[in-house]
Amino acid sequence: MTVPDTLWREIGASPFISLGTYRRNGALVAVPVWVARDGDELVVTSERATGKVKRLRNDGRVTLRPCSRMGAVEPDAITVEATGRIAGPATADARADTALRRKYGFQYRAILGVEALVRRLQRKPGDRVIIRISRTP
């Protein structure tokens, strides 16, 4: 079933969403993320080694709910079920990066800048991916 435009726009306009992905045993794990619209898809960026990316490799079902910066979801918040996929390295998806930069501005650039600095100090490579979410299965 396709998500209605009004709900899809509301999720895409939320400052943060709780992105729920499914473990192999069917348990839902939700974490707060930044989200931006790119055409009819939503885009999220994440480190490749995170649990949500690992879970998406096994099961593309996702749930989306507006939330606070720390992940608190209001009891009456809308819930949207959609399909997520790992689109590839963040460095190879300029449209997704532009959409996230446009929506979050300085805070997006600042967080990625601090992350890059920490990686240099730790001598670890950066490996961000783009997650694309579509409203149809």
Q: How many domains does the chain have?
A: 1
Q: What is the pLDDT of residue 1?
A: 59
**Percentage above 70 pLDDT, the chain:** 97
Q: What angle do CA 27, 28, 31 make, to 5 degrees?
A: 140
Per-residue DSSP letters for 88-101? EEGGG-HHHHHHHH
Q: What is the pLDDT of residue 47?
A: 87
Nearest alpha carbon to residue 19 among 75, 74, 83, 87 = 83
Q: Under 8 Å CB-to-CB from 52, ≥6 apart: which residues?
A: 19, 21, 29, 31, 33, 46, 131
Domain with residue 62: its CATH number is 2.30.110.10
Residue type at position 13: A
Q: Under 8 Å CB-to-CB from 14, ≥6 apart: which residues?
A: 35, 66, 67
Name 96's bridge partners.
none
Distance in angstroms (rounded) separating the CA atoms of residues 96 and 74:
28
Average pLDDT over the chain, rounded to an integer: 91
Residue-number span of the structural domain to which 12 is assigned: 5-134
Single pTM value for the model: 0.89
What would the pLDDT profile of 59-72 be if each residue is shown by its tens digit? 999 999 999 999 99
- Both structure tokens of 86: 């790992």
- Local confidence band at 12 (pLDDT 50, 70, 90 cut-offs): very high
Q: What's CA 124's distance to the chain center, in Å?
A: 22
Q: Which residue has the tokens 């608190």?
A: 72
Q: Under 8 Å CB-to-CB from 13, ≥6 apart: which residues?
A: 37
Q: What is the pLDDT of residue 2?
A: 73
